[in-house]
Structure 1
Amino acid sequence: MTTDWTPAALSRDIPAASAAPGQLGETDLAIWRSASGRIAAWSDRCPHRGMRLSHGFVRGERLSCIYHGWGYGEGGQCVRIPAHPELTPPEAIKVPVFAAAEASGVVWVADGTPAGAPPEFPGFEGFRSLRIHAPATVLARAFGGAGHVIEGTLGPCAVVALIQPLPGNVSALHLLAPEGAGPATLDALSLAAEALRRTAEAQAEQAEEETA
């Protein structure tokens, strides 16, 4: 796993012309896909009034704030202010932009310029993301592994588990399933993922009680 890339979402959860919230460390992100399919990760704050851009709307290659409709295009640059349609917005009005790329059905984000492409997992594709109220170390231990990338078995099949640490002793689990897995296998895998969530959260709760 390239250390400067962080798994932040699954490609299937960000369809064309949509936006969703994401996270990179302590930074809130708006992860969005243009109508043409281009993926992007920006700071989740409109420079105008601070409204979350992940609540906004996508038109073509532009992400617009839902509050006053300010539109942002290539590189996060403001390109339209509806209240002043004849105005060319100043270059200073710009949303901070983060690196974003897709591989194996995962949206990867990074702060700065990554050293290379995000990792690929041949034969696997993004299946499901879960938010789990347990630290990343506890979640990995509940899975039976260590680190933020675990290749193993969960329920009925082999999986790749990408564990994303989040603020507040919370983690995101991005699961990759075998390509072409059938509905019955995926249903069983989903149940196994829910069981893993319960196990990790119970272990985290127990650890908190022991240290209280």
Structure 2
Amino acid sequence: MAEFRDRWIAVGLDHQVQPGSSNPAIVEDQPLAIWRGENGAANVWEDRCPHRGMRLSFGFVRGNMLRCIYHGWGYEAGGQCALIPAHPELTPPKTICANVYPSAERYGILWTNLFKDTRSEPPELGPADGWAPVRSIYVNRDAAAVTERLPEADCGMADASISMNGHGAATIEAGPNLTLLVAIQPVSAEKCGLHVVARGKAAETPDARAALARKMERLRGALEAR
């Protein structure tokens, strides 16, 4: 497995991971399974069942357990195998465990750290409350190029100023009533994701956020332009 440095990376908007669902994601070419149990906690794991290597993101959630689609093996939130349907009387060995990464939800964004022994916290990027989801978009450029281009990119708002904050995210200030936070997900050497949330009076209604989502299409075009 690749060696990852200690940093928190956005992997999606928290509302995209509904209770009882399992979703795929990729960070720095590492396939991930993101799932949420009935207790509401989001989990980020390596997208691989320890049994036969099947993608866990293809699986299903029952209660607070993620079940592999292949043979139905079940894993609790800490990654420990708790159920082998072919041998229901068996207590699975503690050596059977999914590869689990730290996760946190902040600013309406789901974060993970592929450096599993981290003692750091997700970045401080502004007020913790009041953020509403706008959208996630994917850009056909690597994260480093997008980070370089973002401050000068056209986001479709004439009075907007874009600043990078040093934590793989940018803040867009668009007047006194609107702030957007754009968190960058490095997917591969050719692609990255942008997870966008907003706060302020100009983002309070669904129609206003839909208009902002359309402006993010313009931002993507500016970032992909040669």
Does structure 1 conserve the Cα–Cα contact (< 8 Å) formed by 2:138 and 2:192? Answer: yes
Which residue of 1 is the match for residue 117 of structure 2?
A: 113
Q: Normalising by structure 1, what TM-score? A: 0.85
- Cα distance in 1 between the residues matched to 2:81 and 2:40: 20
- Cα distance in 1 between the residues matched to 2:204 and 2:19: 24
Does structure 1 conserve the Cα–Cα contact (< 8 Å) formed by 2:143 and 2:185? Answer: yes
Residue 61 of structure 1, aligned match among 38, 60, 64 = 64
Does structure 2 conserve the Cα–Cα contact (< 8 Å) formed by 1:136 and 1:164? Answer: yes
Does structure 1 conserve the Cα–Cα contact (< 8 Å) formed by 2:78 and 2:100? Answer: yes
- Cα distance in 1 between the residues matched to 2:90 and 2:61: 21
Aligned alpha-carbon RMSD (Å): 2.2
- Cα distance in 2 between the residues matched to 1:100 and 1:118: 9
Q: Identical aligned pairs, as a percentage?
A: 40
Residue 224 of structure 2, aligned match among 184, 190, 201 = 201
Which residue of 2 is the match for residue 173 of structure 1?
A: 194
Residue 137 of structure 1, aligned match among 140, 144, 148 = 144
After superposing the two structures, state which structure 1 stretch, 110-119 or 126-135, moved more.
110-119
* One-letter identity of the residue aligned with 2:43: A
Task: Give 1:8 deviation, angstroms.
Answer: 1.0
Which residue of 2 is the match for residue 209 of structure 1?
A: none
- Cα distance in 2 between the residues matched to 1:149 and 1:35: 30
After superposing the two structures, state which structure 1 stretch, 101-110 or 116-125, moved more.
116-125
Matches within 5 A, 1:141-152: 141-142=149-150, 144=152, 145-146=163-164, 148-152=168-172
Which residue of 2 is the match for residue 183 of structure 1?
A: 206
- Cα distance in 1 between the residues matched to 2:112 and 2:73: 24
Report how many aligned residue pairs link the two structures.
201
- Cα distance in 2 between the residues matched to 1:74 and 1:185: 37
Unaligned runs of 5+ in 2: 1-5, 153-162
- Cα distance in 2 between the residues matched to 1:71 and 1:52: 13
Unaligned runs of 5+ in 1: 204-212
Task: Give 1:74 deviation, angstroms.
Answer: 3.5
* One-letter identity of the residue aligned with 2:131: F
Give the 3-state SS of the residue equivalent to 1:139 in structure 2: helix
Task: Give 1:153 deviation, angstroms.
Answer: 4.1
- Cα distance in 2 between the residues matched to 1:202 and 1:22: 25
Matched, 1:8 2:15: no
Moved over 6 A (4+): none
